[in-house]
Amino acid sequence: MRYYTQTRLPYEHHWNGSISVTRQCSSVVNDSGNWVEPVIQMEIPRRNTRSYSFQSPDVSKLRELERNIASQDDFLERHGKLLNILQTDVTKGVLETLVQFYDCHCHCFTFPKYQLVPILEDYSHLVGLPVLNKVPFSGLEPDPKYSTIAKALHLGVSVIKDNLTVKKELSGFSTDFLYNQASFFAEAGANYAFYSVLALLIYGLVLFPHIPDFVDIRAIKWFVSYLPRPFIANRERLPWSKKIMALTPSDIIWYHPIWDKGTVIIRCGEYPNVPLIGMEGGISYNPILARRQLGYPMKTKTNSLALTEEFYYNKDDPLGIRGKFVQAWRGIHRLNRNQLGKRDDFMHESYNQWVVNQAIKNQMPYAVPKLVSATIPSSSLPLPSKTMGEYHEELADKDREVSTWKRKYDEVMVMMEDRDEIIRKHDSKILKQRQQMIERDARIQFLSTELSKFISPRERWVSFGDTRSESEE
């Protein structure tokens, strides 16, 4: 068989969205005169990585204060899981890398083969605070009165007035003042007052940092308004860019039973998605992209996805979107387990393809996986349709089997966590009992020493002997 080249046209250049496809039309024909499919070369543009800086608050003093907590359970009951957040170490480079994967069209993080969507239910689990059926904190609330702040922090009104200062046009407390108050309450054994000041410090410095060494009025308003009742180890010291890029969907624990809140917010008011109200501005997210995270299958590509571009900054909101977001939260729409369907972490091939197409469309700063793009014609695989169907059926069976084992693993992990919690509470109870015994023995020893100053050992023995004789009679 001989091959030779015949040129029909020099080049054909097509532009499809943001995908530049160059088709070189030097085609190959064989002896029978049949054309061989020309080679398609794709040059997919990528956006440049961007430089971001994040505040990294010094939490060493907060962790020192944490050691003075008398009861972790009492703090958890009053202020949620703030201590867990305080103990979380943020490795340098993680946030700087993660933000490069942000998809501004879908308002989520788009990775080579999957997507992750931060949703309110995730934050609710991490912080230990419920998502209430009410308008969330928006920052539009009036500043709390001195008396309200004083009551929340167990301080006098005059103390609040004397120490509330202004920085960058925002009132608040210096961290030195709050640290001193926390230490004073801890040493005095005023546990609830100590817990309140420590919680405010965590809100102001860790969750809502704005001005260094300063807890501003926005964090105080939040605190007063809502006063509540192996991958990570990175032993290989890989850069986070390589570590995240190496992840596949099978490496991710998509769903854990302890995260299940029963219902999921799918939209608010007239918005087709969920509006988020932040300290600096607002944006929305699409819960439909989080189905897999919630333990439900992604059966097909997201045809009904509402990609709204609405967002705002607090300092620049000429359209009044902030107020519209607040109004939308007056009509919360949720779905329960029955409405969401049967649990399964299956991901359909068409959704996989849609994720790849999104990465290409948004010029994500990484090499696109070797999946055929739906926007580019592709040659059929040399497999009979029956064989291909059997292959997909077998693959689906394997996926379901993996999902079953993952669910069993998750159930065992929950049982182990429950057991560990029971053991921890039991140990805490024993520790308290031992402490009480030590205090009782010390008290007895003290009383015995004081008693010996007035009654000699012989007199005590005689008295004891007389008492014993009377009891025997």
Per-residue confidence (pLDDT) for residue 435, from 0 to 100: 80
Residue 175 lies in a domain: no
Residue 100 lies in a domain: no
Select from 222, 220, 202, 209 the least CA-distant residue to 62: 202
**Cα–Cα distance, 94 to 101 (Å, whole number):** 12
- pTM of the predicted protein model: 0.51
Q: Are 255 and 295 in contact (CB under 8 A)?
A: yes
3-state secondary structure the chain: CCCEEEEEEEEEEEEECCEEEEEEEEEEECCCCCEECCCEEEECCCCCCCCCCCCCCCCHHHHHHHCCCCCHHHHHHHHCCHHHHHCCCCCCCHHHHHHHHEECCCCEEECCCCEECCCHHHHHHHHCCCCCCCCCCCCCCCCCCHHHHHHHHCCCHHHHHHHCEEECCEEEEEHHHHHHHHHHHHHHCCHHHHHHHHHHHHHHHHHCCCECCEEEHHHHHHHHHCCCCCCCCCCCCCCHHHHHHCCCHHHCCCCCHHHCCCEEEEEECCCCCEEEECCCEEEEECHHHHCCCCCCCECCCCCCCCCCCCCEECCECCCCHHHHHHHHCCCEEEEEHHHHCCCCCCECHHHHHHHHHHHHHCCCCCCCCCCCCCCCCCCCCCCCHHHHHHHHHHHHHHHHHHHHHHHHHHHHHHHHHHHHHHHHHHHHHHHHHHHHHHHHHHHHHHHHHHHHCCCCHHHHHHHHHHHHHHHHC
**Cα–Cα distance, 48 to 67 (Å, whole number):** 45
Per-residue confidence (pLDDT) for residue 8, from 0 to 100: 33
Beta bridge partners of 282: 277, 312
Q: Which residues of the chain register pLDDT less than 70? A: 1-48, 113, 218, 221-261, 292, 295-309, 343-350, 362-363, 365-393, 396-397, 400, 455-473
Per-residue confidence (pLDDT) for residue 315, from 0 to 100: 84
Domain count for the chain: 2
Residue 451 lies in a domain: yes
Q: Are 285 and 118 in contact (CB under 8 A)?
A: yes
Q: Are 173 and 164 in contact (CB under 8 A)?
A: yes
Per-residue confidence (pLDDT) for residue 110, from 0 to 100: 76
Per-residue confidence (pLDDT) for residue 169, from 0 to 100: 84
Reported residue count of the chain is 473
Residue 460 lies in a domain: yes
Q: Are 86 and 205 in contact (CB under 8 A)?
A: no
Residue 440 lies in a domain: yes
Angle at 345 between CA 343 and CA 347, to 5 degrees: 125
Per-residue confidence (pLDDT) for residue 230, from 0 to 100: 41
Domain enclosing residue 13, as ranges: 4-43
Query: 363 — phi, psi (to 5°)?
Result: 55, 50
**Cα–Cα distance, 36 to 26 (Å, whole number):** 10
Per-residue confidence (pLDDT) for residue 141, from 0 to 100: 77
Residue with structure tokens 């189905």?
Answer: 291
Residue 13 lies in a domain: yes
Q: Are 129 and 199 in contact (CB under 8 A)?
A: no
Residue 21 lies in a domain: yes
Residue 464 lies in a domain: yes
